Amino acid sequence: MASDHPLLISSPQTPRAVEDLPTIPIYTDLAKSGSENPELASAMDSNNPLGNSANTEPTLNSYFRRSNSSTKSRASRGNSVREVSFDNSGSKPPRHGSRGAESDGLSISQRELSDEDARLIYINDPGKSNERYEFAGNTIRTGKYSILTFLPRNLFEQFHRLAYIYFLVIAILNQLPQLAVFGRTASVLPLAFVLLVTAIKDAYEDWRRHRSDRVENNRTALVLGDEGFHEKEWKNIRVGEIIKISANDTLPCDIVLLSTSDPTGVAYVQTINLDGESNLKTRYARQETISRMSQNERMSGLIKSEKPNRNIYGFQANMEIDGKRLSLGPSNIVLRGCEIKNTAWAIGVAVYCGRETKAMLNSSGAPSKRSRLESHMNTETIYLSGFLVSLCTIVSVLAAVWLRRHRHELDYLPFYRRKSYEDEDDPKNYKYYGWGWEIVFTFLMSVIVFQIMIPISLYISMELVRIGQAYFMIQDNKLYDEASHSRFQCRALNINEDLGQVKYVFSDKTGTLTENKMEFQCASIWGVDYSGGTTCVPGDGYSAQVDGQVRRPKMKVKVDLELERLSKIGKQTEEGKPIHDFFLALAACNTIVPMVVETPDPDVRLIDYQGESPDEQALVYAAAAYGFMLLERTSGHIVIDIHGERQRFDVLGLHEFDSDRKRMSVILGCPDNTVKVFVKGADTSMFSVIDKFSNKNIIQATEGHLHNFSSLGLRTLVVGMRDLNSSEFDQWKLAFENASTTLIGRAALLRKIASRIENSLTVLGASGIEDKLQQGVPEAIQSLRMAGIKVWLLTGDKQETAISIGYSSKLLTGNMTQIIISNKSKESCKKSLEDAIVTSNKLMTQSGVAQNTEGTSGTAGTPVALIIDGTSLVYILDGELEEQLFQLARGCSVVLCCRVAPLQKAGIVALIKKRTEDMTLAIGDGANDVSMIQMADVGIGISGQEGRQAVMASDFAMGQFRFLVPLLLVHGHWNYQRMGYMILYNFYRNAVLVFVLFWYILYTCYTATSAISDWSSVLYSVVYTSVPTIVVAILDKDLSSRTLLKHPPLYGSGQRDECYNQKLFWITMVDTVWQSAVIFFVPLLAYWRSTIDGPGIGDLWTLGVVISVNIHLAMDVMRWTWITHAAIWGSIVATVICIFVIDAIPILSTYWAIFNMMGTGLFWLCLLGIIVGTVLPRFVVKVLYQYFFPSDIQIAREAEKFGFSRELGGGGMQIEMNPILEPQQRLSR
């Protein structure tokens, strides 16, 4: 259990006094602690911390250095790998997007602060602060509506659906006396019901948001007043007020720290409510404000800050106190929603309140996406609209002909009677407006009668079905991550069915395929590779004595015995000095916070190294294992136990990592009165600042070791150092102090100063850190590929590391031919692409990948893997070469993109989306994956070690990559199959009724009267037939999960659009015409010469339609449950009861009609004839088609039914799966 107080203080971010040099306030991107953090990994590109990185990242980083060693055959894997490398490393490397210190293409928090972008905050004077500027109050409001705006705004949002506008027009037309077909009330009910249900759902959700807002706004905090601190509700806090926060309290707004309980001004902050990260972070108060608050003086001053923005990892401001101008950065601000930990209290001034806080600005969800199936449904809806217009046109034309033929009889026809004879001397026309207008009115009345051709209930049914499907996905234990105790999250309900049609998966590496739990494996120091003898040290490893207690690292690290022996020699020997400096750099060049963890033994304490980066944690633990244990970190110094000797190092400056430099450095004042700068970073960045004219052999050896480490899949980092003489240090100090207080161009100046001191370094060595694959990743990738899904790996890692991970994850196999493209100019990229396309086509032709003339799926002889780096993509994604890359990539089995930036990831996804109709899925866990996740059709966030940025931007979230298999192959397949069938069934059931009404009009002189009662028309889509289709679409399963997981090729049915396509639509419409004809003409002919009235035969038609469509549905159900039985047969019973009730009401025209009909045998004979006539032909056709042309799904279902699942794909019973065709070979849509 951790103690309540930290053992040590974090690295400095602000000066303690004039002599102490403050840390450079670099406004870092959220550098992914995984593979995309070049400082901590292997030259990966920077991330954009903003929620919408696709729109805000200003630049692409340059990738201009790669290992001199080409990728060689990996005989050690037992595979013979052929490689075709298109590399042009001789040309001078460009600096795309890496504009150096003078870069101005920065995000809102990185841009230099100017007067136009600033706002003034008067400390402890909220009146003056808010008098001149209209700052937001601290009231938050996440609700969308108020009591006054709910009705108009909700209706406005709902009527964004064109179908609702269509039904509104129909309802309005029915209110006109000339067009009244149904009762005026009855015609409004369907639309009103749908609008009411949606409004109730929206109102309930908004009520919950308002309730949460009230709880949040009414919380209290301590605010400084005339008589000291007093409680004040959060909603009343204003910008400029001074607030006091106690330990474990949540911050009510964004504050700039003024003082803390720690004399050095440090505060420990947990941001789990903001970004999901549980590691403690350090924030600092300026020393000038600490002294003022400690003396209980009335604090006053002016803060000039940037305008509110979404960047939670950047902040830029200046503070003026007592005539001094102090710079403020991200380390000085604590955001709303964060909690103070291990700090008794903290005092700060409110700078952003309410909706202007960074947390609230980031509260918007992911962009809305639309289901592919729903988009295709719109095409069929247009066809149905065409049907509707055609039917109405036919009726109006026939009505015109009939009126013309009978124009002389219209005055006397009993059922028409054009004249009113109330005044016998001068009879006038009765509701007759002339031949032309009668035709127009007939057309409009027909539209009203046939309105349900467009199924209004389908939209609400789809919403309910998606909610039910989401519930079962969330409750599935196969998607439950025991390690993080997190269930599957369905954050976007409108694309569930898209999970069943995915063709491309774009995956991040670190934290997605790997665990993002770093473990130090090996090191290269001074040209010597220490990677062969790592072993666990017996006992508890290295420990140090502190105040009579034993302190040990919390995590044990395997050590190289030879390296451990040499580390004890000390820095006095030539052999031991570089090793001493190397581990000193690992222990000192970081922002790790050492914390004490109690143990059952009161004399033993564990040191838990907490930090934002798992890489830094691994390196500090490694240094401790070799006897360089970081014990203490304050705002001005660090204490390191070096083999039993505690040494204090003054931290004179700390240059944090930034995306331009791709490295970090620390300036230490050593015990021997020397000043040294230690630098660590990515190899692409470090070798550009290494002194290459000295120790050439060591540099070459280190480069070779880096290549070997990367080939093993390790994440590499280069460490260097140099001594600073007094003149260099003084120059740096003066320049730094001037830059840190500059109003204009401060960030660029600080980057420039950092780059000047980080040069002419002596290389000390390199480290290798292992990021292990997650459990089940190789098996998952293999299953996805068997399902016909192409998996592309998009990573910021080095090429060698990415290839190694590709092999270990089975993304790359030994029989693949690798095409490697790594170029440094547009011309060379074009040439490489052309050559690669020729090579790929030749390989595909030779191996018979193309479809053979017999029409069977050719055997994949030699699959091709494309490996391309980010530098090449800079030129290719520029536009002109995109088409060539697409032609090359689509023919490859695997595409592996290394050293790619976040925008390049999104660009690769867009490359496929723009040129194919294939469904794309992107999966990642970090902020740099947000743009890719939002670009793909389906975005999945991994709730892992890197915060919740990816989760918050995703459509679905889960804990492990392997969960992708049951999600797609099982739930995705089920969701697509169910939703596709439900849409077709809704079209069918409504069209059946419309065609019955159409046949009836043809036999009633085209008068656009309805064959069934008004109330039955209203209840048909709401009560009679709605529940069964919803239940079946939620619960039905064509195959068990076991079968779907065992045979991944079954997933191809969704990729081939087997459950919903235009062919099925037209077949359904033909079946609809036949069934409607049977339902209408059987009773008509049976009662042709009888005296039955319209309401009586109308009830028979109603029962015939309802029973037929429900039996039609029952024939297609594959997994019966008691709920399914209750829904289908209960729907028929409910219809009978409703007709009984309607016909028992005396004031209605249908009074007692059904009871008179049911008393005769002919009624029951007609009902039986309708059922047989509608169901039997369809049953016969279905049996014959499945017998002679069975699909994969039908064969697998039969095998399940008869207990042959064990033989599926085995030796007893072989199933030949249909080939997964390319788009041009699929069923026509």
Pairing of strands 339-341, 266-270: antiparallel
Q: What value does the mean pLDDT take over residues 307-328?
A: 84
29 tagged catalytic: no
Higher pLDDT pick, 277 / 684? 684
Burial of 231 (0-12, 13-18, 19+ CB in 10 A): exposed
Q: Does position 647 have pLDDT exceeding 90, yes or no?
A: yes
Q: Does position 904 have pLDDT exceeding 70, yes or no?
A: yes
728: helix, strand or coil: helix
CA-angle at 393, arms to 390 and 397, nearest 5°: 140
pLDDT, position 853:
35
What tens digit of pLDDT does each residue of 1062-1110 get?
A: 999 999 999 999 999 999 999 999 999 888 888 989 999 999 999 999 9
Q: How far apart are CA 194 and CA 182, in angstroms?
A: 19
Q: Does position 365 have pLDDT exceeding 90, yes or no?
A: no
pLDDT-derived band at 160, boundaries 50, 70, 90: confident
Name the CA radius of gyration of the chain, rounded.
37
pLDDT, position 93:
35
Q: How far apart are CA 1163 and CA 1154, in angstroms?
A: 10
Highest mean pLDDT among 313-317, 336-340, 501-505, 746-750: 501-505
Highest mean pLDDT among 139-148, 397-406, 782-791, 952-961: 782-791
Q: What value does the mean pLDDT take over residues 1196-1206?
A: 75
Farthest-apart Cα atoms in the chain, separation: 132
1138 half-sphere exposure, CB direction, 13 A CA radius: 22
Q: What value does the mean pLDDT take over residues 391-419?
A: 82
**Any idea which of 362-371, 410-419, 697-706, 1020-1029 has the lowest mean pLDDT?**
362-371
Higher pLDDT pick, 1191 / 134? 1191
Sheet order of strands, 302-306 included = 118-122, 302-306, 317-321, 324-328
pLDDT-derived band at 34, boundaries 50, 70, 90: very low
**Strands in 670-786 per DSSP E:** 675-681, 715-724, 762-773
pLDDT, position 426:
61
What tens digit of pLDDT does each residue of 6-18 get?
A: 333 333 333 333 3
Long-range contacts formed by 841-850: CB under 8 A, 24+ apart: 841/891, 843/817, 844/891, 849/891
Highest mean pLDDT among 54-68, 263-277, 854-868, 967-981: 967-981
pLDDT, position 885:
93
- Active-site residue, from 125, 508, 771, 1057: 508
User: What's the whole-number average pLDDT of the chain?
Assistant: 81
pLDDT, position 5:
34
pLDDT, position 212:
83
Q: Does position 59 have pLDDT exceeding 80, yes or no?
A: no
Q: What value does the mean pLDDT take over residues 741-751?
A: 72
Of 1109, 1089, 1112, give the one whose Cα is nearest residue 1101.
1109
* Residues 703/763, Cβ–Cβ less than 8 Å: no
The pLDDT > 70 percentage for the chain reads 81
pLDDT, position 638:
92
pLDDT, position 572:
82
Q: What value does the mean pLDDT take over residues 1026-1031?
A: 94
pLDDT, position 1206:
47
DSSP string, 600-653: SSTTEEEEEEE-S-HHHHHHHHHHHHTTEEEEEE-SSEEEEEETTEEEEEEEEE
Q: What value does the mean pLDDT take over residues 735-743?
A: 76
Q: Does position 74 have pLDDT exceeding 50, yes or no?
A: no
145: helix, strand or coil: coil
CA distances (Å), 1092 to each of 90, 850, 981, 1096, 1147, in order?
94, 67, 38, 6, 19
What tens digit of pLDDT does each residue of 111-130 get?
A: 455 556 678 899 988 888 88
Of 271, 107, 33, give the one whose Cα is nearest residue 925.
33
Of 646, 649, 628, 645, give the one whose Cα is nearest residue 637.
649
Q: Does position 332 have pLDDT exceeding 80, yes or no?
A: yes
Of 309, 355, 327, give the one whose Cα is nearest residue 135.
355
pLDDT-derived band at 423, boundaries 50, 70, 90: low
What tens digit of pLDDT does each residue of 667-678 get?
A: 999 999 999 999
> Which residue type does 7 have?
L
What tens digit of pLDDT does each residue of 605-646 get?
A: 999 888 777 888 899 999 999 999 999 887 678 999 999 999
pLDDT, position 62:
29
pLDDT, position 768:
92
pLDDT-derived band at 871, boundaries 50, 70, 90: confident
pLDDT-derived band at 944, boundaries 50, 70, 90: low
309: helix, strand or coil: coil
Q: What value does the mean pLDDT take over residues 58-82?
A: 35
pLDDT-derived band at 25, boundaries 50, 70, 90: very low
Residue 880 has phi, psi (to 5 degrees) of -70, -30
Residue with tokens 């199936």: 373
DSSP string, 327-351: EE-GGGEE-TT-EEES-SEEEEEEE
Q: Does position 729 have pLDDT exceeding 60, yes or no?
A: yes
Higher pLDDT pick, 568 / 409? 568
Higher pLDDT pick, 615 / 421? 615
What tens digit of pLDDT does each residue of 526-549 get?
A: 999 998 766 665 556 788 888 888
* Residues 915/70, Cβ–Cβ less than 8 Å: no
Of 740, 609, 826, give the one whose Cα is nearest residue 7.
609
